[in-house]
Structure 1
């Protein structure tokens, strides 16, 4: 069990102090070891074709945990893009002149797209 220090405000601070990185900035549901990320980085540098899916399967095999393939296909629904895209941003008219930029976003945790 991970124990927070008195000066920790967020769960990711506790996770980082114990060598893990959370999957979300505020309320992480999953965390991965920083050592595992470093290992994947080194393996991927040696073999760029080595995918994160292969790495996940390897970790599951090492820890004798069944690999859950449904996690890889959860975004492959036929209408996933339709349900999770912004119609106002993606809608184009037939005779509309092209814009200088198709998208204009900022790198702020994706909050500018809401």
Structure 2
């Protein structure tokens, strides 16, 4: 059986990374927690970005996510935080990378 089955014990790591793949925030939950419930918690937990003078940036401009994070409340919450959600929709083909043709139907 899979360790993420509802009846099984285990844990799952939800994480948010910057554009270079560096982990910015990690949340560990029990295995049966849906990814969609952790989106806004991760975004709100991003620490200030140091380096440039002035007020530090607290949030990303864009959030890329897979279908596990697709929900209208998440999209509304991200837009309210002035973050553009780029999240694959359930029931539609995956986003294609640069230079790749869309899937044939």
Identify whether the pair has TM-score above 0.5, normalized to the shorter chain: no
Structure showing the higher helix proportion among its residues: 1
Structure showing the higher strand proportion among its residues: 2
Give the structure-1-normalised TM-score.
Answer: 0.27
The structure with the larger Rg is: 1
